[in-house]
Structure 1
Amino acid sequence: MSFFQRIKRPGIVKLHPAHILLLGFLALIIIGTLLFMIPAATKDRHHLSLIDALFEATSAVCVTGLAVVDTGTTFTLFGQIVLLALIQVGGWGFMTSGILMFIVMGRRIGYKQRMLLQESMNAFSLQGIIQLLKRVIVITLIVEAIGAVALSIRWAQEMSVGKAVYYGIFHSISAFNNAGFGLEADSLMKWVGDPTVNIVITGLFIVGGIGFFVIADVFEKKKITKISLHTKIVLAFTLLLNVGSTVLIFALEYHNPATLGSLSTGDKWWAAYFQGVVTRTAGFNSIDISQMTLSSLVLMMGLMFIGASPGSTGGGIKVTTFAILILTLWAVVTNKEDINIFKRRIPSSLVFRALSIAVSGVIFIFVIFFLLTITEPGAEMHLIAFETVSAFGTVGMSAGLTADLSPWGKILITIMMFIGRVGPLTMAFALAIHSKKANLRYAEEKILIG
């Protein structure tokens, strides 16, 4: 009898699918923590402390990228492979990886498993959910393979072939899953103006960040006029945010000698583009984040909060949630009853759901930020805020505070990464429950707002 059947037996506590997913992520984190504590995982053969191992495992499973130790110099090949495995499973999601194992073993996928998979992938319906999962796996492997080959060819020009291939595979998996883990201490700063590295890495995390539904929809429909409203909104707002953030980073950092100021005009644009688009999804960096202007850090916090797209490997409240909030605001300002885009009307239920996800995100961030001001009394406020939002958005970008966190600070950021991966997602699952309509409605009365 499977786990999914046992939880429905009489006398055993029944779990909502969201709770099962949450427990699944917790199980992966615990396994990763134990593996990182094995002496063979670290080069000095001294295992990581429990807090550091938990932090690294959570960051990998939640595809965040924040790290309290340097990946390249701390972990052995075994430790790095464990890290990659956690990133891949975390990027796919607990249920996607679990159902994949069922398929490999030839097990039948029942209704309950399909329902859990639907919740995990945030799919519209159960119809075709297994086919969608197979597409997700195929798309992932193809895109990661292409990225690995391209990066390997480029890096083979400056390092041994074996090292170049390993670097290519590691960074391709990390980028596509929006994890942001790298093997160099300065991330990708060595290749700040390199077209190949910039295009391949950004291409990987952009594709991983727009979501598998969008990729499948574009390939199936082929014509822009036939794609779904979801795909249109994701592509339109992703393009808008990417272009806007690139231009703003370029303008804000143009004269900063510690970031773009010392670069050529061409390299300035490459760095601005990379840092502008990476902020919403992955935690790589091609310039020193700790030296960026305060205005740039504030802009990046906003982008990290928005995050990637539903059904993707990225975090945040999701670009569609942000789009609905902006469209709702516009409808209120223009005194319109309906929220319309691309000649389609957004249902009010989605507006409430988007508002709930955004508000819950703000509350989570505020609580962790407040607690960090207590545990990290010597840290600057904007650095604490940046680290908190980065963890919530599972971005993994740091302005330099992560390595100096106290033990309690590490625990709080670990909690924030977990919340960022499953918190808003769990909220969306809970809101998606088909509850019965109440038979009783109370009298309406207005209150003053604004």
Structure 2
Amino acid sequence: MRKIKDNLDPPKILVLGFAIIILIGATLLTLPIATEDGQGLSFLNALFTATSATCVTGLIVVDTGDTFSMFGELVILSLIQVGGLGFMTFATLLFILLGKKISFKERLLLKEAFNNITFAGMVRLVKRILIFTAIIEFVGGSILAIRFSFDMPAAKAIYYGFFHAISNFNNAGFDLMGEFRSLTHYVDDPTVVLTVCSLITLGGLGFVVMNELFEYRQTRQLSVHTKAVLTTTLILTIGATVLIFLFEYGNNKTLGPLSVAGKSLGALFHAVTPRTAGANTLPMADLTHSTLFLTIILMYIGAGSGSTAGGIKITTFAVLMATVWSQFKGKEDVVLFKRRIVMETILKAFTVATSGALIVMIVTILLSITEKGHVFLMYLFEAASAFGTVGLSMGLTPELSPIGRLLIILTMFTGRLGPLTLAYAITKRQKQEAYHHPKGNIMIG
């Protein structure tokens, strides 16, 4: 028994723990009480939905609002909350609750993930995570509930408001609007757009960043990690908003009919949501190819490490861009905010980014084989959305074959757990070599 316990290192615990949560959720969604028609979902569809909810993705094979009863919707909402918080706190909570001894190498990774804090500091951060989550979801849910009360009965508005607040803060993108239309009816509504964008952004920053901002009045300093997340988030959001505004300005099926203010809100929302939320106010199938390709790039990048979002993470992207810039300038060191980035971090960034790109390419190829009759861009978009745990779709998801659904299930699971477990594996297995091979030169470029 002791040997089995010792074999359960953090990556195995993460994979096993979330697999169990998904299976429990899938089983509950197959119950007759879970659906409006009293039939329950097939196990494959239930497994797809539970995986999408737990991995806070948002891809759906059946419409959430039209298919599920309140019981089924609450199961999905619970999976979203556990999935969103779990990826940030699961390992630490398990160590604390189970009394598992943390080795020196494990402490190094946890300190890095939680911004160089002590073990006691991690307990404090976990408590703050729960407090921050409760406050943000309550405020966001209240605002949305008030807005929805103008369109529906008060009780329904409250339920809808808090469901969408929890879903979007956790970057899941599940909605109750029905007919696969997400939030398209609110494309130019400033209250809904700005509230949901704020929830998505806060969830995507990560609690380490939020905790540093909270403590800034006392510390008067921010780490390189926090500066990189905030700066890159701002640049990507503003840049993507401007580009989408230009790409879709004359598209009569998206931003074309809207006022300038409406166009700005629509462009802003679509710039924010690929950072891995999944809700949409613009019809995905009607977007220009330029916007769709930009969306794929944003989905691949994702948001902050230690957040509710997926992708390769925005800090990975920042390190990669800083490395490229240093090479262009002929500098030996990679510097961000007057701090030299160590080679170990650079290698991790390249490993995570390359692994993510390979996963997206392989899944795209497999989808093109298993799902016939669609344009190539749909396969690439679906693969990037699943890997980045985004949830946006050009309409392929409900039409997936059983093999395609299993493929996307594995991609969502890998995309959500992959970067963390990969980084853990790199740190844990790294060891000093007894000798060095002779140097070799290879021509690059």
Match of 1:193 in 2: 188
Contact 2:88 2:307 in 1 (8 A): no
Q: Deviations over 1:83-120 (max 9, x none)?
A: 000000000116835866998xxx57453499599659
1:291 positional shift: 0.4
Match of 2:25 in 1: 32
Distance 1:224 1:393 in 2: 34
Contact 1:394 1:421 in 2 (8 A): yes
Secondary structure of the 1:433 match is helix
Distance 1:418 1:431 in 2: 19
1:273 is the counterpart of 2:273? no
Contact 2:95 2:102 in 1 (8 A): no
User: Unmatched 5+ residue regions in structure 1?
Assistant: 1-5
Match of 1:44 in 2: 37
**Which of residues 326, 337, 340 is equivalent to 1:342?**
337
Distance 2:103 2:391 in 1: 31
Secondary structure of the 2:275 match is coil
Match of 1:75 in 2: 68
Match of 1:405 in 2: 400
Q: TM-score, normalised by structure 1?
A: 0.93
1:420-435 map, 5 Å: 420-433=415-428, 435=430
**Which of residues 5, 11, 15 is equivalent to 1:22?**
15
Match of 1:300 in 2: 295
Q: Deviations over 1:60-101 (max 9, x none)?
A: 000000000010110000000000000000001168358669
**Which of residues 258, 261, 285 is equivalent to 2:280?**
285
Of 149-158 and 65-74, the range deviating more from structure 2: 149-158
Secondary structure of the 2:335 match is strand
1:153 positional shift: 1.1
Match for 2:26: what amino acid?
A: T
Q: Deviations over 1:217-252 (max 9, x none)?
A: 011023896111110010000000000000000000
Q: Alignment length, in residue pairs? A: 440
1:16 positional shift: 2.6
1:351 is the counterpart of 2:338? no
Contact 1:281 1:314 in 2 (8 A): yes
1:13-412 map, 5 Å: 14-93=7-86, 96=89, 109-112=99-102, 119=110, 122-123=113-114, 124-127=116-119, 128-185=121-178, 186-222=181-217, 226-412=221-407
Q: Deviations over 1:188-223 (max 9, x none)?
A: 111111111011111011000000000000110238
Distance 2:93 2:146 in 1: 31
Contact 1:254 1:268 in 2 (8 A): yes
Contact 1:95 1:117 in 2 (8 A): no
Match of 1:3 in 2: none
Contact 2:95 2:101 in 1 (8 A): no
Distance 2:143 2:220 in 1: 32
User: Unmatched 5+ residue regions in structure 2?
Assistant: none
Contact 1:18 1:430 in 2 (8 A): yes
Distance 2:257 2:108 in 1: 49
Distance 1:224 1:236 in 2: 19
Distance 2:219 2:161 in 1: 33
Match for 2:302: what amino acid?
A: G
**Which of residues 418, 431, 434 is equivalent to 2:413?**
418
Match for 2:398: what amino acid?
A: A
Q: 1:113 to 1:396 in 2, by over 3 A?
A: farther
Moved over 6 A (4+): none
Percent identity of equivalent pairs: 46
Contact 1:62 1:421 in 2 (8 A): yes
Distance 1:259 1:375 in 2: 31
Contact 2:92 2:122 in 1 (8 A): no
1:442 positional shift: 1.3
Q: Deviations over 1:358-415 (max 9, x none)?
A: 0000111111111111101211100110011001100100111111111111111111
Distance 2:363 2:61 in 1: 18
Computed over aligned residues only, the root mean square deviation of the Cα atoms, in angstroms, reads: 2.2
Contact 1:96 1:117 in 2 (8 A): no
Of 201-210 and 183-192, the range deviating more from structure 2: 183-192
Distance 1:223 1:270 in 2: 36
Distance 1:68 1:199 in 2: 28
Distance 1:228 1:31 in 2: 39
Contact 2:88 2:308 in 1 (8 A): no
